[in-house]
Structure 1
Amino acid sequence: MKINKPVKKVFVAQRASLGDTLLSTPTLRAIKEKYPESRTIFLASPSARDILEGHPYVDELIVYEKGDRVFPIIKKIWRSDFALILDYHYRSSLFSWLARIPVRIGRSPLNKSFLTHQVLGTPSSDVYEAENTLAVARYAGIDTMNYKLVMAPLKALEQEKADRLLRTAGIDIEKDKLVVLAPYSLSDLKDWPEENYRQVIGFLKKHGYKPVLVGGKEHRSRASGFRGVYNFVGDTNIRETAYLISLAELVICGCTSVLHFAATTSTKAVAIYGPTTPVQWAPRQGCTPISKFLDCSPCYNTGRECERDKLCVRLVTAEEVMREVSQILKL
């Protein structure tokens, strides 16, 4: 379809995870390229605030969680020219309907009654997720081949804090060679065994690299068992973590938002995949994914018990990862 009138205001909803939100940024760029004079209003979850606050392609950010007042949101998005519902939340499409937005495009069958146009089919695991997201925008005649992910810029105070954290830990950002490791994700089933990370950490130190651990506050207690590393787990916000990554020569992690942070800073990464597939979730540039495609994977079983005790993740050995690291760092 085509939008046959001047576009002044666009409503975009994506209330999913940090990674999903970052993977929506090529769509935001495409909107601005298509309608440079338009105003983009983005509805996001609280966890994504640091990604989007001050973002170059977001004119107004609405952070919403269940229980917040709805009327102020409806007022802000009232009669936008069109809405792109990128998530699968019932309320996102409901808000667009209540705001009398004439063109409401989305994908989820759950939202069908509130949409004027539904993109057929479900996101493909054989396609990069940023392109899956763009399928909704393409329905409105918006497209791009630029899949570069973009995060809101670092604030001066945040950089000062991160630099001070590094100096206090004894890291010289001008001289030291850093490798960032993110051992944890939102699901234990995606996490590579800690013992494997310890082997890789020892390998990195042997070759003169300083291993830096990052992660959320919820992972702080789990990460306390690591020794001989610079452990900043729980100490940095999202933009500060991305800044640390920008100073590193490599990131090693699983299928987690940290991998997408690396993509925003063009930092190379080695990523271990298990129940999810790198075809859909690995950045298109600078990422070396390692995955064991078993008869049961990808299964996307990230919230339940695994009958095979995470075999798909456990089969990836420390030696395999160290081999890829050696090639990238030219060790």
Structure 2
Amino acid sequence: MQQPQKILVIRFSSMGDIIYTTPVVRCLKEQLPGTEVHFLTKPAFRYIYEGNPYVDKLLLLKDTLDATIREIREEQYDCLVDLHSNLRTAIIKLKTGLKSYTYNKQTIKKWLSLKLRRQLLPPVHLVDRYLKAVAPLGIKNDNKPIDYFIKKAYNLNALLPAVHAGGYIAFIIGAAHFTKRMPNDKIVAVCRRLNKPVVLLGGNDVKENGTYVADVAGDKVFNACGSTSLDESVFLVAKADAVIGFDTGLTHIAEAFNKPIASIWGSTIPELLGVQPYKIDHSLVAGVTISCRPCSKYGLPKCPLGHFKCMKDIDEKQIVDFCSQY
């Protein structure tokens, strides 16, 4: 097989799914010397690949699919790697006529796993599922973590109170859906039991939650939700002694820095999507076994049964004991 000289890799969303494409891009660049590797995503997720040395060019999805297709044709790629596998990428492949290598989503098995609450898919990580798509190009897993490159040097003392200078635990309390987040009082209980200062991280959507937790839990907890940029939040994660987080993009990005991670799961389960912590030395996956879990693949705005036991019944002690080791 002749080595392609120019490859386009596509993944439009979301943050967690895109961060897990980084090993694929790195392996393509390193294992196919001289090949140009480009990446196409939505403008909202450009930050994941900005500054990534394994990408020669970053393309952004345009207002119309036809405009995106025109740009792809102009680049004259040898082949395309489709790591999204949806209707839009199918149209792109059809209209460009490029030789393509496509990620198998196994949509039906995922749907049946959710409906039957049985694990019908092997617990293979999403990175390894992605890598199967490029195996025909001779690409092998280099068994290294995901990549995220912090955009600039930040001053830790400018971002945090002095009490956190001696070390802290980063607690990522944001997530896209309610059923992926612990209730505020549960977060307070965990923070109170931790033996180190805590920095709460998340976006504006959980800023009020963070304010409540910090007010109730006391001075050891600092609320950085909504007051730091994503890149600053990643920097704070990279400097933490350990990380606690829900099923959300920033928790997955933390894996790039090989931090001990306590990954907390409510209505979703990592095995279904293959997004358990990847290539890190120390991790804890916390979740309870109940008959109604998982109730969703991506999370819901409220508990369908009203009890929310999947989060409320999680053992706080296992999280605290894990973090206390670091």
TM bucket by the smaller chain? 0.7 to 0.9
Runs (4+) of structure 1 moved beyond 4 Å?
none
- Residue 69 of structure 1 deviates from its aligned partner by 6.6
Matching of residues 75-154 of structure 1 within 5 Å? 75-76=71-72, 78-107=75-104, 124=121, 126-154=123-151
- 20-29 or 141-150, which deviates more: 141-150
What is the deviation of 1:261? 2.0
**Aligned equivalents of 1:290, 1:235: Cα separation in 2:** 28
Residue identity opposite 1:177 in structure 2: G
Task: Give, in whole Å, the separation in 1 of the partners of 2:92 and 2:187.
Answer: 44
Find the aligned partners of 1:62 and 1:152 in 2 and give their Cα distance: 18
Aligned to 1:281: 275
Total equivalences in the alignment: 302
Instruction: Between the two structures, name the one with larger relative contact order (CA 8 Å, sep ≥ 6).
Output: 2
Q: How far apart, CA to CA, are the structure 1 residues paired with 2:34 and 2:248? A: 34
For residues 153 and 90 of structure 1, the distance between their equivalents in structure 2, rounded to whole angstroms, comes to 33
Q: 1:278 corresponds to which letter in structure 2? A: P
**Residue by residue, what CA displacement relative to the aligned partner does 1:68-96 show, whole Å, maximum 9, x if unpaired?**
47435532454311111111432233224
The answer (yes or no) to whether the contact 1:75–1:99 under 8 Å persists in 2 is no
Q: Which residue of 2 aligns with 1:18?
A: 15
The SS at the match of 1:293 is coil
Match of 1:213 in 2: 200
**Cα deviation, residue 106, structure 1:** 4.1
Is the Cα contact below 8 Å between 1:190 and 1:254 reproduced in 2?
yes
Could you list the per-position Cα deviations for residues 212-264 of structure 1 after superposition, in whole angstroms to 9, with x for gaps in the alignment? Answer: 01112222233221223211112223322111011110111111222212211
Residues 101 and 133 in structure 2, CA contact (< 8 A), matched pair in contact too: no
| Displacement of 1:125 | 5.8
Task: Identify if the C-alpha distance between structure 1 residues 104 and 298 changes in structure 2 by more than 3 Å, giving closer, same or farther.
Answer: same
Q: Map 1:289-300 onto structure 2 (within 5 A).
A: 289-300=285-296
Q: For structure 2, which runs of at least 5 residues remain unmatched after alignment? A: 108-119
Query: Match for residue 209 of structure 2?
Result: 222
Partner letter of residue 291 of structure 1?
Answer: G
Deviation at 1:163? 4.7
Among candidates 193, 196, 210, match of residue 203 of structure 1: 193
Task: Work out the percentage of aligned pairs sharing the same amino acid.
Answer: 23
Structure 1 residues 90-99 or 233-242, which shifts more? 90-99
- Which amino acid in 1 is paired with 2:240? A
Output the CA distance in 2 between the equivalents of 1:103 and 1:42.
Answer: 14
Residues 92, 147 of structure 1: alpha-carbon distance in 2 compared, 3 angstrom cutoff = farther
For the 8 Å contact 2:172–2:246, the answer to whether it is kept is yes
SS of the counterpart of 1:27? helix
Output the CA distance in 2 between the equivalents of 1:88 and 1:241: 30
Amino acid corresponding to residue 188 of structure 1 in structure 2 = F
Larger mean Cα displacement after TM superposition, 287-296 or 139-148: 139-148
Write the distance in 2 (CA, Å) between the matches of 1:163 and 1:51: 25
Per-residue displacement from partner, 1:21-68 (whole Å, max 9, x unpaired)? Answer: 111111111111221211111111233222111112211112226x34
Q: 1:69 to 1:272 in 2, by over 3 A?
A: closer
Inter-CA distance 225–305: structure 2 relative to 1 (3 Å threshold): closer
Give, as a single letter, the amino acid of the residue that structure 1 aligns with 2:264.
I
Distance in 2 between the 1:149 and 1:221 partners? 31
Is structure 2 residue 58 aligned with structure 1 residue 71? no
Instruction: Write the distance in 1 (CA, Å) between the matches of 2:86 and 2:304.
Output: 30
Given that 2:80 and 2:100 are in contact with CA atoms closer than 8 Å, whether structure 1 keeps it comes out as yes
Distance 1:69 1:87, change over 3 A: closer
When normalised by structure 2's length, the TM-score is 0.83
**How far is 1:171 from its partner?**
5.0
Under a length normalisation based on structure 1, what TM-score does the superposition of the two structures give? 0.82
1:317 CA drift (Å): 2.8
Give the match's secondary structure for 1:307: coil
Instruction: State the AA in 2 paired with 1:316.
Output: I
Q: Report the CA distance between 1:318 and its aligned residue.
A: 2.1
Q: By how many angstroms is 1:145 displaced?
A: 4.2
1:164 equivalent in alignment to 2:158:
yes
The amino acid across from 1:289 in the alignment is V
Deviations 1:257-289 (CA, angstroms, capped at 9, x unpaired):
222122111111111112222342221322211
